[in-house]
Structure 1
Amino acid sequence: MAEFSKIYLAWRKGKGSRRHIVGLLERSEDNNVTFQYLPQTKDLVKSEGFIPYFEFQHLDKVYDNNVLQIFSHRLIKAERPDINNFYAFWEVDPSKADDRFYLLGKTQGLTASDNFEFLAEYIYHSNVHFLTDLSGLSHINLPKDTVKKGDFLQYTFEDDNQFDKEAVKLSFNGHEIGYIKKIHCRVFHQAPEQSLRIQVKAVEQNGIMRKIFVTVSAG
């Protein structure tokens, strides 16, 4: 069973700004990958100065040629000496390392040069397992060492969230920690109640918690 067949393109104006879902990459059964912007993306051009991805300038077009080849430029080079460590960190199945669509979704296609990221819509199954980093940390300002590697976090649905009706809020020992990213949160709504485990894998911090990476897996 494929872990996902859809990857959403997310964008935000800058660090600390709200994340918007602006596009969709979808792989068909014959492995063709298409890309298109979502209708609401047009509003972001005026409201937040959104600039389309360089190779995909038309907001109304469905792209079906060289989509994966273009987005694959965001992937780390397989020739790097630390590639196995990179795959291990992002929970990549080594047997699928040649699948660029899979790699893009698993590693989020993050780069330091822009504010795009690629969020896979994971499908719930008994072996679901992926890595994600939490959102909302820039607004919560958690003190250093609030959580550590190996800690298990608790989650609740926040149906009244004004920005995301699918929001999944995380806590640790009764303290709010952050949120599961948009799109990644959807698998929680597919899973049986409280059946997913969330464990801290790594943190980036100085005086406060800058990033928290967690694994999500079936319990």
Structure 2
Amino acid sequence: MKTFGNIFLIWRKGPGTRRIPVGVIKHNKTEGVRFQYIQENLKKAFDNGFISYTGFPDVEKSYTENVLEIFSQRLPKSERNDLSTFYKFWEIDQKKKEDNLYMLAKTQGLIPIDNFEFLADFNPIKGLVFISEIAGLGKNKIDSSLISVGDLLRFEKETDNLYDKNAVKLYKDDLFLGYVKIKHSKIFYKSNGGFKITIHHLEKNGILKRAFIRIEVI
């Protein structure tokens, strides 16, 4: 089984707004890497100010050329001074650091200048580890003293969620924190096996602003 399947291009208007899957990157050995927009989600995205992703202007076209080359521009350059720290943060397998598809899936292609991210549909392979982030955290205005790096979290599936049919709620003890990011949450519905979720990194200012989590299939 592959570590991950499709990678979804996610867009949102800004921090605190809902993430919208606007495109999907599909890949296999026979057809290579291709990208297309998710038509049923575009109207909502357009209504919120989405235009298109640079390099893929035609939202009705299926792209098969230079897909990975364009998206790989979001990955760190080899001359980056903090590259080893970057690899450590995202738990990168050094043997796969030249695999741009793997790197995009593991790092989410996050850059500070826009509101795009790339969320992979991971598969529940024992020993798999990936970094995600708690969604909806800002709405709960949680006192930053209540959460620390290394804290163990528990999860609950929320099958009646109208926005995400694979929604997963996250708690520290009985304190509700937020949700696993859309698409990353699918892995919890693919397996009845165990998962270990811990706080990986925090950004805070009296209240929690961002919380990255480490998800391990056990």
- Equivalent runs, 1:85-124 vs 2, <5 Å: 85-124=85-124
Please name the residue that 2:144 is paired with: 144
Task: State the alpha-carbon separation in 2 of the partners of residues 30 and 100 from structure 1.
Answer: 18
SS at match of 2:165: coil
Instruction: Give the whole-Å Cα distance in 2 for the aligned partners of 1:41 and 1:160.
Output: 20
- Matched residue, 2:212: 213
Count matched residues.
218
- CA shift, 1:44, in A, is 2.6
Structure 2 residue 53 is the aligned partner of structure 1 residue 35: no
Q: CA deviation at 1:81?
A: 2.6
Distance in structure 2 (CA, Å) of the matches to 1:42 and 1:199: 34
2:16–2:138 Cα contact (<8 Å) kept: yes
Residues 31 and 106 (structure 1), Cα distance of their counterparts in 2 relative to 1, 3 Å cut? farther
Structure 2 partner of 1:197: 196
Q: Residue 146 of structure 1 contacts residue 209 of structure 1 at CA under 8 Å; is this kept in 2?
A: no
Q: Which amino acid aligns with 1:209?
A: L
Query: Counterparts in 2 of 1:47-86, with a 5 A limit?
Result: 47-86=47-86
* Identity over aligned pairs, percent: 39
For 1:14-25, what aligned pairs fall within 5 Å after superposition?
14-25=14-25
- Partner deviation per Cα, 1:101-132 (whole Å, 9 max, x = no partner): 11011000011111100001101111221111
CA displacement at 1:30 relative to structure 2: 4.1
Q: Where in structure 2 are there 5+ consecutive unaligned residues?
A: none
Cα deviation, 1:72-99, whole Å, max 9, x if unaligned, reads: 1111112223211101110110000000
SS at match of 1:159: coil
Q: Give the alignment's Cα RMSD to 1 decimal.
A: 1.3
- Work out the CA distance in 2 between the residues paired with 1:22 and 1:45: 7
For residue 5 of structure 1, report the CA deviation from its aligned partner.
Answer: 3.0
What amino acid sits opposite 1:76 in the alignment? P
Cα distance in 2 for residues equivalent to 1:46 and 1:81: 38
Letter in 2 for 1:215: R
When normalised by structure 1's length, the TM-score is 0.95
Distance 1:203 1:189 in 2: 26
